[in-house]
């Protein structure tokens, strides 16, 4: 694993795939996957930039950042057709369909009540849990955290790094659900029959608010409030979201990390 000693460490993020790892750098993305024949496929490319002046607008900038991450996914699939996304698996699609139908039924039955909205929010997590508990997604989530943590610590060996990380998207879950629940509750009280556009606006605002809470927690990492906000995410990672990877899976992580450092000019 290349040791970046010339400048500050790159700020890296990632996404676990069903058979590998996608890593985001400041200006590029890189991915590595384990092919069916056992070899490792690697690809990289520049990241599309969507922000512009909106990156200074609290709330909106979070939505755009997540949008940038989503735009990369088709690029990964084009460059690495063997890459398998967590949500393209049949059982995950089935769980998503069940959650959608069940959520609509619960919402109709609850008639906008707080308990009903909370149940709908909990049901929306089912597809993610199915994706994590089946296959190798949780293990590659652990690979993501270990590879990035080892790089940030200047360690050449990711095996002993923690499989939980402070910048994991799991830390968005609690503020996202809380903001969405509060927004929908207020919306139902203001409008008897909110439109789908109004519901979508609440969902977008909830994402923006959750990202701002996430960023605040990182800026104030040592504060009791930040630790409290991160605790549910860490527990989710520990219990469900990550699994200790095998050496073969760590090799895929090393390949992805080496490729992002090469693409960013740090190798």
Per residue in 66-106, pLDDT (tens digit) is 777 888 999 999 999 999 988 766 665 565 566 566 666 66
User: Collapsing DSSP states into helix, strand and coil, what is residue 29?
Assistant: strand
State CA 21 to chain mean position distance. Answer: 12
Residues 201 and 126: their CA atoms lie apart, in Å, by 23
Confidence band of 33 (pLDDT split at 50, 70, 90): very high
Per residue in 161-180, pLDDT (tens digit) is 888 888 888 888 888 888 88
Tell me if 210 sits within 8 A of 175, measured CB to CB: yes
Per residue in 119-149, pLDDT (tens digit) is 666 666 665 665 666 678 889 999 999 999 9
User: Collapsing DSSP states into helix, strand and coil, what is residue 152?
Assistant: helix
Check: pTM over 0.85? Answer yes or no. no
HSE of 233, CA atoms in CB hemisphere, 13 A: 23
First to last CA, the chain: 9
């Amino acid at each position: 694993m290349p040791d970046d000693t010339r400048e500050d460490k790159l700020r890296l993020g990632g996404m676990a795939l069903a058979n590998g790892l996608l890593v985001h750098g400041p200006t590029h993305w890189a991915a590595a996957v384990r092919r069916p024949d056992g070899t490792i496929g690697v690809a990289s490319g520049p990241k599309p930039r969507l922000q512009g002046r909106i990156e200074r607008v609290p709330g909106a900038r979070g939505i755009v950042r997540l949008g940038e991450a989503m735009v990369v996914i088709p690029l990964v699939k084009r460059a690495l057709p063997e890459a398998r996304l967590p949500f393209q698996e049949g059982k995950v699609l089935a769980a998503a369909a069940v959650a959608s139908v069940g959520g609509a039924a619960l919402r109709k039955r609850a008639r906008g009540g707080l308990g009903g909205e909370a149940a709908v929010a909990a049901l929306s997590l089912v597809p993610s849990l199915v994706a994590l508990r089946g296959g190798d997604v949780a293990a590659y989530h652990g690979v993501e955290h270990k590879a990035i943590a080892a790089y940030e610590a200047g360690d050449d060996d990711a095996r002993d790094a923690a499989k939980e990380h402070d910048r994991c998207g799991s830390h968005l879950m609690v503020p996202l659900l809380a903001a969405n629940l509060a927004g929908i509750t207020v919306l139902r009280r203001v409008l008897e029959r909110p439109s789908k556009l109004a519901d979508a606006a609440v969902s977008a605002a909830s994402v923006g608010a959750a990202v701002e809470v996430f960023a605040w927690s990182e800026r104030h990492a040592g504060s009791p409030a930040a630790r409290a906000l991160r605790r549910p995410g860490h527990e989710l990672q520990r219990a469900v979201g990550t699994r200790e990877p095998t050496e073969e899976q760590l090799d895929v992580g090393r390949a992805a990390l080496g490729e992002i450092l090469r693409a960013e000019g740090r190798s």
